[in-house]
Structure 1
């Protein structure tokens, strides 16, 4: 052990004192160094997205996109680009829970041969404001109350719903947050959209409007509100732990990158403005073309140095990608650099996680925390002393050139009339939800609006909902104790299947099964079933009364991963009830029944081993959907695996 300057340390546990009970000495520079560093270890949090977690990965291009963009990382099939990713919530501070109802942000930093490209996305395709000028207002309303700093990581309070009711442009994204998209099951099971409209530019200088979307290979899946709230207390790190463990197990999360393309001549073809960030581009009208796959294959080695110090910006683009006149995007381009300077200093790009892998040369030489030591004396352009180096590059040499868009008009503060349809797409979103998703949306709105103290706020919130769906507004009004609003919803019957999580693919792979087991279990049946589950990539937790091992009826020991106390049914995707002998039979029986009841109430699959049938009051004749019995059932293993993949049995009675 040494000090920060390399001097070897003989004692790192006591201050330098006058005798063992005397005063400490001011000359103790070793203590001063250690304590001073400690009290200055924190840096300013991000103003939004402070709670996040990162992972490294690789992006593999599927096909050449040269016909629309000259971006090198999309230029040839099989081309590999390293990527660092950071997933985060928006509202909650760095110590808040992962499972809060919120939108999720996903920043992806592509370390390309042409410089770093940052793709910033969130897990719904629309934003709460149409102009960047409104973003501080929306966040001020969404944050904890300024007087008492409550509630933490929640929009269930007066200022947020007062804002929603009086700024109708935000209603669309709020509905997405109140839906199942707001309480994701896992970062591995989360789509994300760029929201903003960008430009692809090809070698012929032809521009195409583009939006990006990440699609998880495992599909989109969500928690129930009851699960999200309870998991927040049981394991506030639920999502980051899930991501890290999957990578550690080499069950690498995978996502496909898609693009939606609109030729410039079709800019005004649709009944929504393609530059409006509060409107999505329907996949049924503007198909998603898959251009590559991202695989997350390495966890961070140091959370602070990587996840906390990484800095993204929509302004970090490469040749072939440019900006549209999207008013939120235009505002975002000016917001990120000042935020990074505030948090990390002017040389933040030299931090290892932010540094490009390709060579970089410019005339920046000073600023706090300068890491690079330049040996030349010339740091200006143009010059003769250094032969005019560093010199600029022509477009043919890879120099970045902005798309030469013709722009004209008068300076005004105004909003396009084409942005003013606030309710048609929220209505389409509602129409596209399955009955179960609508029930969850009603439940979330009732909880959030019902948590507002002021009756006037609850009434205003219900009043704006009537524009989306009259029956929805009536139901919420009844639930939160206000008058049913006048008026009617907009007359839109369109629905898009792509918006519903119910249409996502389902797999058993990486689902977590809790095996409730004691001593003297039936080895032949149970060990074979556990092996079958693990062969399919299912994560298996062996749960018993105590840690150590349980021993089967033929003497085979099985390592216990967690106890009934250290695990929880809320952390599991399905249950395999085995039973057995326990030191405290009564307590263990109660624990197993508690696990089973919770899993059943949350519509999750339950597998019942042959010897565990007697533990339950239910039997085959109940025809319980998703409850699979092994007794006299030669197809148990396959049926249970299918049930695990299905995840929820909403029609369970």
Structure 2
């Protein structure tokens, strides 16, 4: 098929998708496409025509999802069982054991012991993951990172299942199968793997205005993190804390990394994938092995029903966040991960997270995405682990006593004893009974409204918070978002999809739309789609940045030192000592791993061989070479790239006289910012703590 033919077909599809008279916009701003012409009616597997595939059935527009919604249940059940046994999403993961320690009691708001007993260390198992790729994909694609914590509390297991992004693509769980089908590898070709830069994803997104806020996040540096130890975690949804009086307070959960946020650069992330597909997994493993235990603060946003009513957005909408400037975060505890799993399959692969796993003192909100997840996750675990008894696996079993009347089933590893497997009963003195005083209780609340498939009108503003996020970024981060959009949309063959996305961007920020349109070679800006709500200008939130709030530290980072035979022993010792003192790990890179003889005659072993240990694996590099070594390496592509990439990725570079020769061979200017004399270790360490962002314009063209 020629390009012209493709584009001609695109025009026809654009007409079908965008100008069909049967299309209409719902109360919540969602697009409905009605069967007409060549489009057959959408039905269930039993042939029942579906009147609304955008909204699940709720008690009222902002009410809970109803179990009687057989369309939702069939759709999600089928989706949950599509793949066995790999997770449908979040298949590529790494996890660690540790503990959570409460530092500030929330007894005013909840009866949950894990949130009221200060100083108690609650065991946890935390799993990080990519979303789109399979188990064999790489660690560093542009992708959302899952952040799931299983807390083995005294009251039972609590699974806080979230992501490193506080919002999501969709508002209603009925759309989750469509989202994942769109983002996964295309079914007719089996690729791309672990990537969003393809037609089906952007086609779906271009027809889903509610996703625009999430698009800004996934195109930002948040989705190419430097380390799993340097990502935030979010519970995404609003939950409820319930106190002894039965009163509830809304809460959003945030995990904040002790090491601060740090990302890679896109070119760097791509090269890391080739150099070390297990980069994030290895980084976590090595940090724990070295006793540099990853740590996060747990912070909460607390707000009442009355406060929520005054928000300009609906907190039950998972595509929205509550700016920290509006509801400040309160740090209430910390999580430390201090032990790697003993067996990857038994623990990391078999762990089963379910948002429905709550403990007394917590409750759900009416967030329609959360309501669907309460069903979907459990259903998925039943399929993936093959049995309703997955809770008996050691990694999933509570560490507190538990008992019930559930019996038998495939893979039952427990041995329930006694005659009674029901209640009420009178035949067994130790059979489990209801916990009337401390059992789980749902918050009593009055639900009012007309039952039906309708989305709340308060969900209809799809662009205001997308604008908030983009305009809150530093100029560097805004440029990265624009460039990411150009890269992704350039991979899309269908022109009408590219144009549709640029049209959405016009609602978010007109200059952004122009930058992307120019990068795509569009001769004119496409029209912006109709918006059901006027786009508002919210006050910028600096808390949404990465660069603007990076910590001035080398702690948890890595410094690579390139040496050859004859390298200055004293210079090596000084750089290494200063880097370690600043909290960094140090790795020696050399042409040969077996041994390199230094200037004082000592032979040292390298941690990595030059060709297999490029500078993309480090946060800063030092080049310490003898004169002869510099001459040899100046003819070695791997050595030249070691310096060139470090410069292009805006890293600090420390050089001695031999290093200067390799710097020259790499075409790095002698007076370049961030390139310092290696013997000035204080200056080198200071430069190594951040990236030299002002250098970026000189090394790459940004949209």
When normalised by structure 2's length, the TM-score is: 0.83
Report the Cα offset of residue 555 of structure 1.
Answer: 2.1
Moved more, 490-499 or 142-151: 490-499
Matched, 1:578 2:620: no
1:628: which partner in 2?
676
Q: Please, which of 335, 351, 357 is the counterpart of residue 294 of structure 1?
A: 335
The 5 Å alignment of 1:183-332 reads 183-332=224-373
Matched, 1:501 2:513: no
1:403-436 Cα distance to aligned partner (Å, 9 max, x none):
1122233321111111101111000111101111
1:107: which partner in 2?
148
1:3: which partner in 2?
none
3-state SS of paired residue (2:201): helix
Does the 8 Å CA contact 1:49/1:89 hold for their aligned counterparts? yes
2:50: which partner in 1?
none
CA distance in 1, matches of 2:610, 2:257: 32
1:16: which partner in 2?
none
Sort the Cα spacing of 1:207 and 1:589 in 2 relative to 1 into closer, same or farther, 3 A.
same
3-state SS of paired residue (2:689): helix
Matched, 1:512 2:554: no
1:52: which partner in 2?
93
Matched, 1:522 2:581: no
Sort the Cα spacing of 1:297 and 1:269 in 2 relative to 1 into closer, same or farther, 3 A.
same
Matched, 1:135 2:176: yes
The 5 Å alignment of 1:376-387 reads 376-387=418-429
1:647: which partner in 2?
691
Report the Cα offset of residue 624 of structure 1.
Answer: 2.2
Sort the Cα spacing of 1:446 and 1:56 in 2 relative to 1 into closer, same or farther, 3 A.
same
Q: Please, which of 93, 97, 117 is the counterpart of residue 158 of structure 2?
A: 117
Moved more, 342-351 or 481-490: 481-490
Report the Cα offset of residue 209 of structure 1.
Answer: 0.6
Report the Cα offset of residue 343 of structure 1.
Answer: 0.9
Report the Cα offset of residue 527 of structure 1.
Answer: 1.2
CA distance in 1, matches of 2:309, 2:598: 69
Report the Cα offset of residue 352 of structure 1.
Answer: 0.3
Higher relative contact order (CA 8 A, sep 6+): 2
1:7: which partner in 2?
none
Report the Cα offset of residue 623 of structure 1.
Answer: 3.9
CA distance in 2, matches of 1:154, 1:324: 32
Does the 8 Å CA contact 1:431/1:494 hold for their aligned counterparts? no
Sort the Cα spacing of 1:267 and 1:614 in 2 relative to 1 into closer, same or farther, 3 A.
closer
Matched, 1:554 2:600: yes
Q: Please, which of 355, 360, 371 is the counterpart of residue 402 of structure 2?
A: 360
CA distance in 2, matches of 1:216, 1:262: 23
CA distance in 1, matches of 2:236, 2:668: 49
2:196: which partner in 1?
155
Cα RMSD over matched residues?
2.0
CA distance in 1, matches of 2:130, 2:121: 29
2:503: which partner in 1?
463
CA distance in 2, matches of 1:120, 1:292: 17
1:40-61 Cα distance to aligned partner (Å, 9 max, x none):
xx96111111111111111111
Does the 8 Å CA contact 1:259/1:290 hold for their aligned counterparts? yes
1:285-319 Cα distance to aligned partner (Å, 9 max, x none):
10010010111100111111001100011111111
3-state SS of paired residue (1:577): strand
CA distance in 1, matches of 2:265, 2:658: 31
CA distance in 2, matches of 1:406, 1:52: 41
CA distance in 1, matches of 2:631, 2:580: 29
Report the Cα offset of residue 522 of structure 1.
Answer: 1.9
Report the Cα offset of residue 364 of structure 1.
Answer: 1.5
1:21-70 Cα distance to aligned partner (Å, 9 max, x none):
xxxxxxxxxxxxxxxxxxxxx96111111111111111111111101111
Report the Cα offset of residue 365 of structure 1.
Answer: 1.9
CA distance in 2, matches of 1:624, 1:546: 29
Report the Cα offset of residue 181 of structure 1.
Answer: 0.7
Report the Cα offset of residue 453 of structure 1.
Answer: 0.6
2:656: which partner in 1?
609
Q: Please, which of 584, 604, 611 is the counterpart of residue 565 of structure 1?
A: 611
Report the Cα offset of residue 466 of structure 1.
Answer: 0.9
1:232-269 Cα distance to aligned partner (Å, 9 max, x none):
22211111111111111111111001100111221211
CA distance in 1, matches of 2:432, 2:471: 57
CA distance in 2, matches of 1:386, 1:581: 86
Extract unaligned runs of 5+ from structure 1. 1-41
1:93-134 Cα distance to aligned partner (Å, 9 max, x none):
111111111111111000001000000111111110111111
Does the 8 Å CA contact 1:57/1:297 hold for their aligned counterparts? yes
Does the 8 Å CA contact 2:553/2:582 hold for their aligned counterparts? no
Aligned positions, number: 606
Sort the Cα spacing of 1:638 and 1:165 in 2 relative to 1 into closer, same or farther, 3 A.
same
CA distance in 1, matches of 2:630, 2:219: 43
Report the Cα offset of residue 388 of structure 1.
Answer: 6.5
The 5 Å alignment of 1:143-182 reads 143-182=184-223
Does the 8 Å CA contact 1:70/1:201 hold for their aligned counterparts? yes
CA distance in 1, matches of 2:299, 2:389: 33
The 5 Å alignment of 1:435-446 reads 435-446=475-486
Sort the Cα spacing of 1:620 and 1:167 in 2 relative to 1 into closer, same or farther, 3 A.
closer
Does the 8 Å CA contact 2:109/2:241 hold for their aligned counterparts? yes
Does the 8 Å CA contact 2:352/2:396 hold for their aligned counterparts? yes
CA distance in 2, matches of 1:259, 1:179: 24
Does the 8 Å CA contact 2:634/2:661 hold for their aligned counterparts? no
Report the Cα offset of residue 72 of structure 1.
Answer: 0.3
CA distance in 2, matches of 1:587, 1:294: 45
Report the Cα offset of residue 496 of structure 1.
Answer: 0.6
Report the Cα offset of residue 494 of structure 1.
Answer: 2.4
Matched, 1:334 2:378: no
Matched, 1:479 2:523: no
CA distance in 2, matches of 1:85, 1:624: 42
